[in-house]
Structure 1
Amino acid sequence: MSVRVSLVAAARSSAPLAERFGDDRPLDHAGWREIQFAAHALVPLGAAELRYCSPTPRSRATGDALGFAPLSQPALRDCDMGRWSGLTLAEAAAHDPAAVNTWLGDPRTAPHGGESLLAFIFRVGGWLDTRPLQDGSVVAVAEPGVVRAALVYALGAPPSAYWHVDVRPLSVTTITGLPGRWHLSVEALPG
């Protein structure tokens, strides 16, 4: 018996260079268009026994547009960035470059006053390990950072691996297994 967890990265709410920590903007026009193009491949994931989403507007809208009717899951919220919420990485670095360097280099620190990278990874991993299914499938729409955190946790990779994983909007990452025994499953989406 194993659980299949498909993590769908939410569609865009801003251009990549305009992404802000704690961004809760709704989907932008490009995000809606991306959903239209990808829906044929993603809609079948809605057959999962359990369907969740991050509490952000863009995750909810992505899940609803794909017909998932997901339940909002607070554990799937993005990393709490404290004082840096609302800033881009470049803006945070311009205000306090030493703090940004510390944060990027040590996963146990939270110079922004929010959540450390390590705490974030373990929060998301805790959600992954407590899925109520013994056998079956789960789909969750979440922010790209949440997908990266889940992948780092599932693979038992060092926290620094978080910075080396790119998660594109509407990409699907599938993890199979049981708590403490997760495996990455790479599959091609149909046509």
Structure 2
Amino acid sequence: MRLVLIAHASTSATRRAAFAADESLSHAGRSSAKAALGALRRIRQASRGPEARCEQTSTALGLTAQLDLRLRDLDCGSWRGRSLEEVQAEDPGGLVAWLTDPGAAPHGGETIDELLERVSAWRDALPHEPGRVAAITHPAVIRAVVLHTLGAPATAFWNLDVPPLSQTWLSWNGGKWRLRETGHPLTGRGADPGVR
């Protein structure tokens, strides 16, 4: 089995370095997702997070993806919709705690530890059947899957960069998950490592 995790295309929050609300894709994000139509081949099953940006990305990619609440974005509570700069100015101690302590949730939302637990349970529940499975989700969810796959500590969460409309491939082989590649742009040509 192969699993490809697709980070949704860019939004206005991506451009502003803001904590996402349920915004739609930006014009540039929609264009880049449409340009990647056909990049993923032979997908047996697809799932997506519940947010508009995941639905719009999957539609632009030509995938019929089932909604899965476990693929929702990290809940940033009272920080949703606010820029990183605003939060830094108003709650610098809370921001430092959130970036350094995976058990902290100064925003009143979800901790990194809670995200890791949710996402690990999702990945572990995937059936190990032959074929390719796609999940259109969020950078935070993809970071969590990669950490779980590598057995890395939660404190490494912010050490992974997951750009918009990037792909991360995992494979189930020999009774365990393996990371094949991460962070590569999803484009119309050569995106799927199985067709190179």
1:55 and 1:77 in contact (8 A); partners too: yes
2:107 matched to which residue of 1? 112
More displaced stretch, 80-89 vs 121-130: 80-89
Q: What letter is aligned with 1:87? A: R
TM-superposed deviation, 1:92: 1.3
Could you tell me which residue of structure 2 aligns to residue 52 of structure 1? 47
**Aligned equivalent of 2:6:** 8
Aligned residues: 185
Letter in 1 for 2:154: P
- Contact 1:122–1:153 at 8 Å: present in 2 too? no
**1:172 aligns to 2:170 (yes or no):** no
- By how many angstroms is 1:17 displaced? 4.3
User: What is the CA distance between 1:34 and its match in structure 2?
Assistant: 0.8
In the alignment, structure 1 residue 127 sits paired with structure 2 residue 125: no
Query: Which residue of structure 2 lines up, in the alignment, with residue 28 of structure 1?
Result: 26
- Cα deviation, 1:127-182, whole Å, max 9, x if unaligned, reads 1110134333210111122111111111111112221111112111011127x832
Distance in 2 separating the partners of 1:125 and 1:17: 29
3-state SS in 1 of match to 2:87: helix
Q: Following superposition of structure 1 onto structure 2, how do residues 74-85 of structure 1 map, counting pairs within 5 Å?
A: 74-85=69-80
Q: Which residue does the alignment assign to 2:185? A: none
In 1, Cα distance between equivalents of 2:103 and 2:43: 35
Deviation at 1:15, TM superposition (A): 5.9
C-alpha distance after superposition, 1:29-80 (max 9, x if no partner): 10121123322423x2xx3222101111011011011111101110000111
Instruction: Give the partner amino acid of 1:31.
Output: G
CA RMSD, Structure 1 to Structure 2 (Å): 2.0
Q: What letter is aligned with 1:174?
A: W
- SS at the partner of 1:39? coil
Q: Moved runs in structure 1, 4+ residues, more than 6 A?
A: none
Partners of 2:150 and 2:179 within 8 A in 1: yes
The one-letter code sitting in structure 2 at the alignment partner of 1:34 is S
- The Cα of 1:86 is off from its aligned counterpart by 1.7
Contact 1:22 1:80 in 2 (8 A): no
Identity %: 38
Aligned to 1:189: 191
Q: Is the 8 A contact 2:13 2:19 kept in 1?
A: no
| Runs (5+) with no aligned partner, structure 1 | none
User: What secondary structure, in the 3-state scheme, does the structure 2 residue paired with 1:12 have?
Assistant: coil
**TM-score (norm: length of structure 1):** 0.88
Secondary structure at the aligned position of 1:49 is classed as strand
* 1:132-143 → structure 2 map (5 Å cutoff): 132-143=127-138
* TM-score where L is the length of structure 2: 0.86
Secondary structure of the residue aligned to 1:41 is: coil
Gapped regions of structure 2 (runs ≥ 5)? 183-189
Do 1:11 and 1:170's aligned partners in 2 also have CA atoms closer than 8 Å? yes
